[in-house]
Amino acid sequence: MHRLIGSLTVLAIVLVTFGIQTSNQGRFRAPETLFATLKAASLPPSDGQPVRFEGHQVWRVAIASLTDLARINTLQDQVPTLDFWTDPRIGRHGVDIRVSSTKGAQEALAAYLSKFSLSYDVFIPDVQHAIEKQLLPPVVAAPHLNSLGDHQSLLSADADPTKTYFTKYHPISEINEYLDYLVKEYPHLAEKFSLGKTYEGRDQWGIKLRAPRNEPSSIAKEKKEEWIGPAVVQYILTSLITSYGKDPALAHILDSFDFTIIPVLNVDGYEYTHTTNRMWRKNRQPNAGNLCVGTDPNRNWASNWGGDGTTSKNPCSDSYIGTSPFSAPEPKNLANYVTSRNGAVISFIDFHAYSQLWMYPYGAFCDRTAPIHVESAAQRAASALKSVHGKTFAVGSICNIIYQASGSSVDFAYDTANVTFSYGVELRDQGLYGFLLPPKQIVPSGEETLAGVVELVGVIEKWLKEDGAMDL
């Protein structure tokens, strides 16, 4: 039995050291008063009230050289609470940073960048305004999800929630109710199950898809403030279920493979983005001896955990690696599920946002990469994706296309769980909206990503028949 598992997250960055104008840690020195100003302005409120972001901006800083990169790395090291939306890398899109409007933060950051002749553009002038636009009610109101448990009311109203569900982003309670609805409507195809419990005791619900047949064969997902990832994965799930028996191409891949789809892995963190802090990244697990909460589930996998790359041992950092591999229960539960398949998983896809990338192993090593058939399948998937709405996704190994990333799910799936076609996919966009992609882009993003997945499955099916059978 062959299976596909997809998931949502991963990535990190190259840490570079230099011999000029640096400390013994390879970072440029800068005025401590400047760093103190940024640190104070970046600390979140501690009263438990919903965090607001009036006047906060997102700046895109160009990084033209290794020297520029070192200066930005210094900033990231010295101010772990500063919100880096992307990890720094050399190029025009260098790094995206959210800057607070309080306590002189914008002036301090501008002074630091000016000191080293680093140019920047403001591409989100007010984060709170962007958040509120993302939360605007849809033009066509979706059926109230509390009614999804009442099958008769749906029938009497002649309503199909799958038609309007993707006009907005949903909190975890509505996602779970939608999954219940799909399982109730399509019991011959879908089965709901729990990977396990999060730190705060919530279930990590997933759906197993399997068409009625004699010989089974199997895709999945994971992350936090990136709302588009869970939405796109649910779009793929809905398309596979509702198109079975109607669309020959989608029916064929469901006839050929079993799919496991986990809409949200970091359930506590995702819920926290809806109730308290839209920009939250990590899980909600306390750290002993530190007021800062959370571990980054994307850097907590038992694959070169704590090695080179964009990781941090500072609990206040958004990329905090945790106290040990799988110290966070959320990635541990998914790892246990994948490894328990005893090598039957043929593909793992970890979706999140943003940057438009389709990546394969390795993240931890820049001198090693997956075989050519893994790269070719990714190229085919990205080409099919582009054919839908014209969006270009760059393809390459994680370390070589962006930066070095230790402790990732993609490397773990490939090396430890023996998953041949293991990928990390960063969805729309390339920075115009960043993490705050408008809901009107959910369906287009879902449509193009579905096309990429369908193409990928077709390539895998052909590979299994022609080349891969002897290797499995």
- Distance separating alpha carbons of residues 305 and 95, to the nearest angstrom: 24
447 in active site: no
Contact criterion met (CB below 8 Å) for 213 and 251: no
Of 174, 225, 426, 461, which residue is the catalytic one?
426
Q: In what order do the strands lie in the sheet with 421-427?
A: 190-197, 203-209, 258-261, 3-7, 345-353, 421-427, 357-360, 394-397
Q: Which residues contact 81 (CB under 8 A, 6 or more apart)?
A: 39, 42, 43, 44, 292, 316, 317
Longest Cα separation, the chain: 73
Indicate if the alpha-carbon torsion angle 146, 244, 193, 277 is positive or negative.
negative
Contact criterion met (CB below 8 Å) for 238 and 162: yes
Q: Exposed/middle/buried for 32, CB within 10 Å: 0-12, 13-18, 19+?
A: exposed
- Distance separating alpha carbons of residues 443 and 117, to the nearest angstrom: 41
- Give me the amino acid identity at 148: L
- Distance separating alpha carbons of residues 63 and 59, to the nearest angstrom: 13
Contact criterion met (CB below 8 Å) for 227 and 357: no
CA distances from 232 to 82, 263, 277, 297, 425 (A): 28, 9, 22, 20, 11
Residue 167 DSSP code:
G
Cα end-to-end distance, the chain, whole Å = 10
Contact criterion met (CB below 8 Å) for 421 and 83: no
- Please calculate the CA angle 310-314-320 and round it to the nearest 5 degrees: 50
Q: Which residues are catalytic?
A: 426
